[in-house]
Structure 1
Amino acid sequence: MTSLRARAVTGGILWAVAIIVLGLAGLSSYMTSQAQARFLDVLETRHSQAVVAVTNNSDTTDGLDRAIGDLVYQVPLSGQYWQVETEDGKIYASPSLVEARLPAAIGRSEVAQRREFLGPNNESLLGIGRWVRVRDGSLWHVQVAASLQSFDEEQMDLRRTLLTAFAFVAFMGVLGALAQVAVVLRPLNKLRQDVSGKWEQDGGMKVADYPVEVAPLVNDINTLMERNRDIMRRSRRQAADLAHAIKTPSAIMRNELDMLMMNGHDVHEAVDALDRLDAQLKRSFARMRADGTDSTMVVATPLDVALGRMQRAFNALAQNEGKTFTASFDPGMRVRMDQSDFEEVMGNLLDNALKWAASEVRLKADLTKDGQIMITIADDGPGIPKEEIAKATQSGQRLDTSKPGTGLGLAIAHDLVHAYGGKILLSKDEALGGLAVHLRLPVAASKRPD
């Protein structure tokens, strides 16, 4: 588990559950003991009342019912019973027992004894009984009993009430834990959002906007971001310097080969080799730029400018070759890609399309439903067979040698587009019948965030 939020919430819930379970068990045990004590107090009070009544009315047993005058003893099978047994075996019982009888006394102890037994309805009863010496000196056994069913029902009601209360407390505790985690992790969420848009923040993040516990990390991130920006700037500058340095000797060699060709020497193989060398160097420099590029860099290319320039250039090239070139795109669109890299990609792709087209090349750019920009370049040429499409973006894969070229145009375009988080897809164009190249590029923000 790597999420701090998940850890905090899970830990809080587990701790709350443990506390609630222990609290519920402890409180339930305490309430049960209190209920048992109250039950026994009531039963012992009833037994004491019965003992006093028997002692005062032993001469006239007919008055025992009135002497032990609790109304619950008058209701048949009410769960509350009394029974008096004399030494000679005579038994007097409460009307609530009807024709049933409580168990006979065990022994002749004058100390009160408690025991459980089954009552008239086979319910559990708790009874208290002891032998009492009455006025004439004889011993009478006085016994009262109460049903445990009411006690058990009371305990069940108590447990349900406690469970409901603790469930509500648990629910509120979980909500509180979630709220607390959200508040505590808010600075980290802000930090994550700021870091995810690191290239769209000039000067880094403000340390004062974060808690003191996070401030050292923010300082380190700012340092790392600035170092990465510097590394990428230097790598791109070095690639540009190296490319410029190589162009001069390459141009000299090409001029020398042209002079030899004008003097009648066969230098076609050397020219082809130099073309391939230039193309490979171009591919390498493109990769170097791509390696120094991040897909979240705050760069933007207005399509109005870049595609407008391409439209004018390739309109002229197409007319020179007796072909047509059309372009359609909505105004105001911006792609998140360096303009020089974007124009290099578009130049390679349009050059390929114009080279292979029989008579027509079309360019279209629009927004997709998922918020990206789709640029499609289609021609009416022979296209690429499905089984050869995968090779088309690989370095130096020339699928047809009947046309001049190095086979690196699509490969260079693929590397650069991928470096900016885009994709290139190849398919057959349904309208023109030739190759359709689809570029999916991220949309650039209209302005830098404050």
Structure 2
Amino acid sequence: MPLRSLRLRLLASAAAAIFLALGVAGFGLDLLFERHIERREALSMEAKARELLGALRLDAAGRPVVDPLPSDNRFDEPAGGLYWQVSAAGGQAHSPSLWDQSLAAVPGAPRGHWRIRRSPGPFAQGLLVIERMVEPDRSGRAVLVQVATDDSALIDAQREFGREMVGSLVLLWLVLIGAAYGQVVLGLQPLARIRAELDRMRRNPGARLSADHPAEIDPLANAINSLADARAADVDRARRRAADLAHSLKTPLAALAAQSRRAREAGATEAADGLDRAIAAAGAALEAELARSRSAVAREAQASSRANVLDAAEAVAAVIERTEAGERIVFEIDVPEDMDLPLAPSDLAEILGALMENAARFARRRVAVSGTVTDEEIRITVADDGPGIADARAATALVRGGRLDEAGPGHGFGLAIVSDLVSATDGTLTLGTGRLGGLEVCLAWPAPGAS
């Protein structure tokens, strides 16, 4: 299953690439170290070989003779790990350390320099051998000179170096992965900024992505902005067409209502009732469509508008108090003076007007409007001391297009229209039984800066 996280993909690819690079580097370092210690050991053996060459001569029979013998005591100890051997056409001479063994000769030894090679040797030892052809006198007879040493110490040194190198490379790998993580986080920061700006666009359809992104992000930001512009234009056209259609249908509905009255006056009560039901259904659909249009406008105006809750509540209460239902009601408004909402004043007035008018219609004596502001939310509550509403009716009222006055003798207003306006501005609406005993409608919006 492919990784869905871009961060994990980048880290996994970086870890694999670093691991491969360090593996190749480790292999190369191991080879370099092996060649280095071989050369150092070969230089040490060349010094002993020069001493051997100074004592080499051929006797009358063409047999090689070394006199005096090299001074290193390891040449005298059988299987001591350091050996020499000279081979000519007339015979062979070797160090006492070889005892009854001999070094293997490989054709093609050079004359002008020492050749270095590894070879299996006597006494089950692996050997590092240097060899060359020399002419000890003017007779032109060639002699193969070989000096060898046990390579076990070299192998042990190489293994120890390998272990330490692997540990160092693993530590370096972890450090580089940490650096790669920092690089990935830094490189992905523009995408986090894009996400934040997209969230702002979600809350405010009029917002757009900023133009100061890195060059690699600019095409994406421009494409998103173009898509948002096109979508906003499409939504605006669709909203205007819907609103125009809704308004254009009001006149035919009014004409049908007049026909219904005439039919009722003529005694065709059953036909008039049917017309009234059809007109009511069409009117509800039109009101719902107009509410959607108002919700879209409210959402677009949210980012640039502020409405004072106390002013709106007092203005609505002053209007309702002049009505027949409002004359007998006492409005209790407990809202902080500086309590504002990111709404257009007309939208807040429409929301509170519908809630407070309905509360006044069904209240016995009191309607309470309260407001609170916390670090998390801004809350408005409208409660009355009326009969309230059953939970089942509340659920029906919250259905899009539902109206409480159509759900029985409850609170009579298009609650779904108010709910659309509230939800369009990132708010929530809940129904319940309040402290006054009747219906309590709670509206809540996230406080500015709340996550």
- Asked if 1:413 is matched to 2:414, the reply is no
- Asked if 1:355 is matched to 2:355, the reply is no
Deviations 1:381-411 (A, max 9, x none): 33334455323434356698567x7x55434
- Give the one of 438, 444, 447 matched to 1:440: 444
Superposed, 1:131-142 pairs within 5 Å as none
Residues 1:341 and 1:288: Cα distance change in structure 2 (over 3 Å): farther
- Asked if 1:296 is matched to 2:304, the reply is no
Q: CA deviation at 1:288?
A: 0.5
What's the TM-score, normalizing by structure 2?
A: 0.66
Distance of 2:357 and 2:389 partners within structure 1: 16
Unmatched runs of 5 consecutive residues or more in structure 2: 57-65, 108-115, 137-142
Deviations 1:358-397 (A, max 9, x none): 33221112334324x3221112233334455323434356
Residues 1:177 and 1:228: Cα distance change in structure 2 (over 3 Å): same
- Asked if 1:364 is matched to 2:359, the reply is no
Distance of 1:330 and 1:117 partners within structure 2: 100
What's the TM-score, normalizing by structure 1?
A: 0.66
Identity over aligned pairs, percent: 17
- Give the one of 20, 23, 26 matched to 1:22: 20
Q: Contact 1:130–1:141 (CA<8 Å) still a contact in 2? A: yes
Distance of 2:145 and 2:213 partners within structure 1: 88
Distance of 2:408 and 2:106 partners within structure 1: 122
Distance of 2:83 and 2:106 partners within structure 1: 16
- Give the one of 144, 152, 162 matched to 2:149: 144
SS of alignment partner, residue 31 of structure 1 = helix
- Give the one of 233, 239, 251 matched to 1:226: 233
- Give the one of 240, 246, 267 matched to 1:239: 246
SS of alignment partner, residue 375 of structure 1 = strand
Superposed, 1:28-47 pairs within 5 Å as 28-47=26-45
SS of alignment partner, residue 297 of structure 1 = helix
SS of alignment partner, residue 331 of structure 1 = coil
Distance of 1:267 and 1:309 partners within structure 2: 42
Residues 1:151 and 1:250: Cα distance change in structure 2 (over 3 Å): same
The one-letter amino acid of 1:44's match is: A
Unmatched runs of 5 consecutive residues or more in structure 1: 74-79, 94-101, 446-450
Q: Contact 1:360–1:379 (CA<8 Å) still a contact in 2? A: yes
Distance of 2:405 and 2:393 partners within structure 1: 10
Q: CA deviation at 1:152?
A: 1.3
Q: CA deviation at 1:425?
A: 0.7
Name the counterpart of 1:324.
Answer: 330
Deviations 1:12-68 (A, max 9, x none): 545544442332222222222111112222333333444444564955669433999
Name the counterpart of 2:288.
Answer: 287
Distance of 1:397 and 1:319 partners within structure 2: 18
Residues 1:115 and 1:418: Cα distance change in structure 2 (over 3 Å): same
The Cα RMSD (Å) is: 5.4
Higher relative contact order (CA 8 A, sep 6+): 1
- Give the one of 415, 420, 425 matched to 2:430: 425
SS of alignment partner, residue 72 of structure 2 = helix
Q: Contact 1:364–1:376 (CA<8 Å) still a contact in 2? A: yes
The one-letter amino acid of 1:298's match is: A
The one-letter amino acid of 1:330's match is: P
Distance of 1:194 and 1:435 partners within structure 2: 35
Q: Contact 1:379–1:433 (CA<8 Å) still a contact in 2? A: yes
Distance of 1:420 and 1:408 partners within structure 2: 20
Q: CA deviation at 1:311?
A: 1.6
Distance of 1:336 and 1:238 partners within structure 2: 30
Distance of 1:208 and 1:282 partners within structure 2: 49
Number of equivalenced pairs: 406
SS of alignment partner, residue 396 of structure 2 = helix
